[in-house]
Amino acid sequence: MAKETDNRDDLRNQIIHVFVAGHDSSAITIGHALFHLCRHPDKWEKPHREVEQSGGNFTFESLKNLYYLQYVVKETLRLHPVAPLDSRRAKQDTMLPTGGGPNGDSPIFIPKDSTVTTSFHALHHLAPCFQPYPEAFRPERWETVRPGWEYLPFGGGPRICPGRQLALTEVAYVLARMTQEFRTVECRDPVEEWVEEFKITASSQNGTKVGLYRE
């Protein structure tokens, strides 16, 4: 890209995107998953048994077949999308077809140069398909839930995150190896609730404090 432009802002933004997408997102999601699994040790047992039964020879396809582990990843991203907000600036006067009015089914006028921000965090909690108990960590809900545009941890459409499959594979592999290596997990965090720290990405302000045991 440096051969195509000398705009320092553009170059800086691209470098930041590489670090955020290539490093932060997977590590933060793994931390979020462990945050909840250590508070629900019974949900650690299920992927542990899954991995044992699979033989532990992990490939791209075999990780996809660890169904409960995939449910854990999906539920973690539902509760804590690493990029919980996304914004777009209108290049011209336009209309959103719905979202306005008392019932949310009227159009909304968007003037040129307005910034429209979407909250994926709110979407993942308010969507009807995630009711009831949207605040609860329940990987089992993914046995039946099949959301469309109500679940967007990587965005959607032509601008969906190009590293989506890489991130999902990294997270699944690390969690699979951890459940393979360690029999039980316990919470060692004096703070029970998840506290957000929002910078470029959203992560746990208090980190993830766990104990892992082989027996």
Q: Which residues are annotated as a binding site?
A: 161
Count of Cβ atoms closer than 10 Å to residue 156 Cβ: 14
Which amino acids are annotated as binding site for heme, given as ranges?
A: 161
Residues 127, 121: Cα–Cα separation, whole Å: 10
What is the phi-psi region of residue 88: left when phi exceeds 0, alpha when psi lies from -120 to 50, beta otherwise? beta
Q: What is the DSSP string of 123-153?
A: HHHH-GGG-S-TTS--GGGGGT---STT--B
The structure tokens listed for 5 are 């432009």
Backbone angles phi, psi at 6, to 5 degrees: -110, 15
Alpha-carbon torsion 27, 28, 29, 31, what sign?
positive
69, 45 contact by CB (below 8 A): no
175, 33 contact by CB (below 8 A): yes
Of 13, 19, 20, 21, give the one whose Cα is nearest residue 1.
13
